[in-house]
Structure 1
Amino acid sequence: MRKVTAGLFSSIDGVVQAPNEWQFSFDEEMGVALNALLAEQDAVLLGRVTFTEWAGYYWPTSTDEPFASWINSTQKYVASSTLDSVDQWSKSTLIEGSVTDFVAELRAQDGGTIGTAGSPTLVRSLIAADLIDELTLMISPVVAGGGRQRLFADDSALTKFSLAKAQPTSSGVIIATYRPTK
Structure 2
Amino acid sequence: MRKVSASLFSSLDLVVEAPNEWQFDFDDEMGAEMSRALAEQDVVLMGRVTFTEWASYWPTSTEEPFAGWINQTPRYVASSTLASVDEWPGSTLIKGSVTDFVAELRGQDGSTIGVGGSPTLVRALFDAGLLDELTLLIHPVVAGGGRQRLFTDDAALAKLELTGSRSTSSGVIIATYRPVR
User: Is TM-score (shorter-chain normalized) higher than 0.5?
Assistant: yes
User: How far 1:35 sits from its partner (Å)?
Assistant: 0.2
Could you say what secondary structure the match of 1:26 adopts?
Answer: coil
Counterpart of 1:30 in structure 2 is 30
Tell me how far 1:123 sits from its aligned partner.
0.3
Q: What amino acid maps onto 2:140 in structure 1?
A: P
TM-score, scaled relative to structure 2 = 0.99
Structure 2 unmatched runs, 5+? none
Where does residue 2 of structure 2 map in the other structure? 2
Moved over 3 A (4+): none
How does 1:26-175 map onto structure 2 within 5 Å?
26-57=26-57, 59-175=58-174
Give the Å deviation of 1:56. Answer: 1.3
Q: Please give the alpha-carbon distance, in whole angstroms, between the structure 2 residues aligned to 1:93 and 1:159.
A: 31
Q: Which amino acid in structure 2 is aligned with residue 6 of structure 1?
A: A
Identity %, equivalent residues: 73
Cα distance in 2 for partners of 1:65, 1:23 equals 18
Aligned residue identity for 1:156: A
Say what the alpha-carbon RMSD is for the aligned residues.
0.6
What is the Cα deviation at residue 65 of structure 1? Answer: 1.9
Query: Which range is displaced more, 129-138 or 62-71?
Result: 62-71
SS in 2 for 1:49: helix
How far does the alpha carbon of each residue in 1:103-132 deviate from its partner, in whole angstroms, 9 at most, with x for none? 000000000100001100000000001001
**Amino acid of the residue matched to residue 61 of structure 2?**
S
Amino acid at match of 1:56: S
CA distance in structure 2 between the aligned counterparts of 1:171 and 1:64, rounded to whole angstroms: 25
**CA offsets 1:3-49 (integer angstroms, 9 cap, x no match):** 10001000000100000000100101000000000000000000000
CA apart distance, 1:147: 1.4
- Looking at structure 2, the residues matched to 107 and 8 of structure 1 have their Cα atoms a distance apart, in angstroms, of 21
Aligned length: 181
Counterpart-to-counterpart distance in 1, 2:18 and 2:64: 21
SS at structure 1 position matched to 2:83: coil
TM-score computed with the length of structure 1 as normaliser: 0.98
Letter paired with 2:25 = S
